[in-house]
Each structure stands twice: as C-alpha cells, then as structure tokens.
Amino acid sequence: MRKGPPIAYRIVNNSICAVLRLTHWETAMTIKSFILTTLVAILLVAPAMADTVNGKIINSAGLPVAGATIEVFSTGFTATTNIAGFFTLNLPQGTYVFHVIPPAGALLAPMVVGNVVVNGPTNIGNQVLTAGFLLSGTVTDGNGVVIVNGDLDVFDDLSGVKLNTPGDKTSPTGTFSLRVPGGALRLRAEPGPGQVLVSQIQDVNMVSNLSVGTIVLPQGFQLTGVVRHATTNVPLLDVDIDVDDLATGLRIQTPGDNTDATGTFSVIVPAGVFTVSFEPLKGQQILVGKRVTGVFVPATSNMGNILLDPGITVSGTLVNNAGFPVTGADLDVRSQAGDAILYTPGDKTAQDGTFFVVIPTGMHRVIFQPKNASGLLSQSTPFQQFTGNTPMGNVIAQPGHLLSGNVSAFGGVPQTDCSIIVHDSTTGAIIEVANKRTYASGNYGVLVPTGTFDVDVRTKKGSLAQDITVSSVIVSGPKTLNASLSLLPMLVFVDDPAFPGPQVVLAGQAQIFITFVIYNPNGITTGTLVDVEIEDPFGGISTIVSGSPVVLGSGQYIFAQFLPVPLSPAAPGNSGLPHKFIIRLRHPTNGSEIDVDEFVYFPQ
C-alpha cells in the first residue's frame, strides 16, 4: 500500500505556506518564532501517534540471535536485533503480523508472529527461532523434463506472509531444499525464466523433514490485456489479476499478476475457461473491481482493454451489542439486478471491526455475515439507492441461537452441500444466515434469532434425494433439527455440455446448447409435467414449454445432449447480466413441484 508523506512533513509545509502569505512588514523573527512554535507542537503530539514495541529473538538454546530482521507485514516498518537479540519498533496503534528473518548463514528457519496488538507500550517477549525442517522435492514439466532455476515460494498459511527462504531456486537437476518453520505452510513452484508453464501450489504441514516428491508444472498459455480507467482511458498501474477455473472454482497460480505502468498484464494459465477478476489498488483511485466470466483460453489469448468504472465507497464499523468490534465478518453487496452478488475484494471486517468496499451506484443491499463462532446473527439492509459515498457508522450485530443438525438420506447416507434456507413462518421473509451448506458429514449449523421458522433443505445439483420443508420450527435457544430425505419420484439434471459454469452467448447467437436428463429412480412407473423457462436478471419469466407430460417406468430416463434451444434477444439493458435456463418437473395431478434444475448463461 502506498503511503503519503509523514504527517509532520505535511503540517510543516502547510505552516510554511501560511508563513509565506505574511506581508513584507513582518519580521524574520516572527517567521522563525512561528515555525519554532509549530515544530514544538508537532513534537509534543508525535509520541501519541506511535507506541514502542520491543522484544528479543533467541535460538532454541536460549542464546540471542543478533542481526535478525523483523518486518511488519504490509507496512514497510522494519527493525534489526542488536548483539543481545533485542529490537525496538515504533508503531501506530493496531494489530500487526511480524515476519522474523534469521541472519544469513544462521541455519535457522524464519517465523511469523501474528496478531500483535499494539495499544500502548508493547513487549512481545522472547521469540524463538528454531532450526526448522527441510522441505524438498523436484520440479518438472508435463513431459518429465526437469525445471532448472525454477522459483519456490513459501507462505505462512494463516497470515499469508511470504517467508524468507534463501536458495529457493531449483538446481540443474530440478531439485530444491528449503529450511522452513514447523506448521501449516503453502509451497508455490514457479517455472524458470521464459518458460510458459503453469505455476502450482501445495499445502504442507511441517512436523518433520518432508519431501513433496515431484511437482509437475503443466503447459500453459499467455493471457494478456490492458486495464484502463473507463472514463479517462488512462492505463491503471498495480491492478491485481486473479484467475479462477470456471468448472472447479479453483484459483490458478499466477505470480507477478499485477498490471505495469502501461496497464498491461500477462499471466500464464492452462487451456480452459476461466473467471478473471481485476482488483484495483486500494487508495489509488475509487474504482469498482471487475469480474469477467467465461474467458475461453484455447491458446495464447488477449482480452483487449478492460475498463474499470469509477465507484463509490460503503464504510463503517461492525460491532456487537456491547460495542466491541466484530472481526473477520464477511460483507456481500447484492444488486437488485438479478440479485447478483457484486465483486467487492477486501470485503471482510478488520481487527477493529471497520469495513470499506467500493461498489457501483445503483439499487443494492448490504449483507453482514459474522463468523458462526462469534454467536452473532447475519443481517441485511433493505435494497436502497446508492448514489455517493455512504458512511454507515456503527452497524450492530445481535446475538443469535445455533440451529444445527444432520441431513441424511437412503438409510443414513450423509447429504453433502445441501442448502439450509430459513424463512420466518409468519411473513415468509428469508433469514440471512452464514455457512448455510451441509458438510461432507451432512452436518450443518446456522445462527437464527428467537422465533418460529420454516426450514427448507435444498439438495445439491443432480441429487437423487428430495427437497423438504420443515414447518413451524420454534427456536428460543440452541436447537437441533435433523432431516432424513426420501428418494425423488422423478429427477431432472440440466447443464451446459461444455463445462458446468455459466455459458456465454455471443451477440447474434440465437441459441444455447444444453444437456439434460429426466430420470425415474424410484422403482415405480410415474408421470410428470415438464416446464422449460428463461428467467431474466429481474425475475421475469419467459415460458418455452409448459406442462408437457412425460411418463417413465422404473429406471427409465430421457437424455438429450448438445440440444440447441432457441433464444429470444435479451431485453434492452439486460445484455451481459445473468439469465437462468430452468427445467421444472411438476406433479401431474396437483401441479406441485417435484424437482427443478437450472444453469446460468450470459447473453452478450
């Protein structure tokens, strides 16, 4: 993060400017007196702006480590230990992460000291640098050819701090051996200069010396483009680029992925379809981050100009009902257009509970989701028109009750990735909850207020289990609610045949391609009515097929692959916004919903 000149420098310059405005008849002594008075005032208030932080670095034998470097993560503050192992820093009040780097040749591992709270003179005591462990392996390309002079980076898994690891290049035989501390770390392997290979990352837990074997860097392709200000067309420096695989959601490792002074970025990715995110540098300009979905990379590709729009800020502090800050809560901003979650990087509350996100103008609502461990409820503002910077002041998170249980089916088989949706039984309003999906064990846990609720259990895409609603669940304290799901009488599964992410429908293309299955798994002959619909970003429904009857015997199915579906042109203003293609199965007698599936596409 860039910092402005020191506060004292700014005050002195302002003072000098004031002095220079004096008329000619004022004496030089008056000027000297004015400057001296200002400097004295600055010196008197300066100690209140920073606190002394000290500590001692020792080795496992208790001996002082001289010449160790202490870096304060993301601040630029550093210190070096003296011959007795002591160091001193002057830091503003706040919470910090320290990276302790042993002196060269000491055969000690670096370490990270996290959550150092500075609120007055602070002593972090003795911090022990150990010999650590050796982390080793070999790096090759997809053909088994060793990577020479490849780069290895090691990150502390909790804080994200990049550790200092001397000698972190692969040898002429492609091998590496790094001295690292114990604990959870992330190892990133990068290709050598000029090699168009995809970097890989691996989680390791260091409890002894560890060889990770062979790390294979697959063939990649360059993805390039230029990021510019949408209004001025000026190229933007230091915009951070992230690339996620659209099918799996996994992040592609793209080291060195910030734009240069010309706004240009160049990253190496495998062949595939991706979501590419653009995060502007905080504090430089108030610009809205951007996500581009459905970026197809079959070979070397250029995205052209990416334009970032000016935005507005939403800021404030999340506190509990006792006034204490709520740390690490997640913020989502939903647009009324398609109820889509906006891209708001850095949208978690800081150690002091503050939050700051940049959004476009428009009709939005802000959702606050504290961690379940806090015991605090999620909450949402109503949709409102955001037209300028919006300070929200203190937002108070209220305590809630834990509603938890297990979801199973077919004789106790755990149901993974089910959604738990809670409605107020009287009004039908959805209660905002965090962590609303079941784990691999089928367990879930959400926080709700006191009240009576209807709880929907919605199965994952393609499940053979039937969704259920448990009505009138009374919650006045911790509540256990288990659910056992029955077999579906009829199942529908619909997807894009190329990949399971959103399909991009190019301008002028009059159709989308789908794959769908309608299946009777339950052992009896049954019938269903089939509806096919398109839902626009504002909830409008266009019906393509309504009430088409289908009868299938036990185990029978209808399967269609790469089926072209004609589309009407997107309504004005809806181009580029998410649309849903929906297939719904209804009971042939009472019309109630049996099963439904959908996928998202973006008409351009």
Q: What pLDDT is recorded for position 273?
A: 85
Question: Which one, of 603, 602, 604, lies nearest residue 502 by Cα?
Answer: 602
CB atoms within 10 A of CB 29: 8
Reading the block at residue 290, the tokens are: 């951007």
CATH number of 133-217: 2.60.40.10
Q: What pLDDT is recorded for position 391?
A: 96
Long-range contacts of 1-5 (CB under 8 A, 24+ apart): 1/74, 1/282, 1/283, 2/281, 2/283, 2/284, 3/76
CA dihedral 162, 167, 170, 176 (to 10 degrees): -80
Q: What pLDDT is recorded for position 38?
A: 39
Q: Which fold has domain 221-308?
A: Immunoglobulin-like (2.60.40)
Q: What pLDDT is recorded for position 168?
A: 92
Into which CATH architecture does domain 312-397 fall?
Sandwich (2.60)
Those residues with Cβ within 8 angstroms of residue 41's Cβ, 6 or more apart along the chain or in another chain: none
Q: What pLDDT is recorded for position 16?
A: 31
Q: What pLDDT is recorded for position 479?
A: 96
CATH number of 401-485: 2.60.40.10
CA dihedral 231, 235, 239, 243 (to 10 degrees): 90
Domains 133-217 and 491-603 share a fold: yes
Into which CATH architecture does domain 491-603 fall?
Sandwich (2.60)
Return the exposure string of 37-59: e unless at least 16 CB atoms fall within 10 Å of the residue's CB, then b: ebeeebeeeeeeeebebebbbbb
- Answer whether 96's CB lies under 8 Å from 102's CB: no
Q: Tokens 């709880």 sit at which residue?
A: 455
Helix (H) or strand (E) holding 33: helix 28-45
pTM above 0.75, yes or no: no
Q: Sketch the domain layout of the chain as residue ranges.
A: 7-49, 51-129, 133-217, 221-308, 312-397, 401-485, 491-603
Into which CATH architecture does domain 51-129 fall?
Sandwich (2.60)
List the chain residues with pLDDT less than 50: 1-48, 500
As beta bridge partners, residue 557 has: 519
d(C-alpha 533, C-alpha 580), whole Å: 8
d(C-alpha 258, C-alpha 240), whole Å: 5
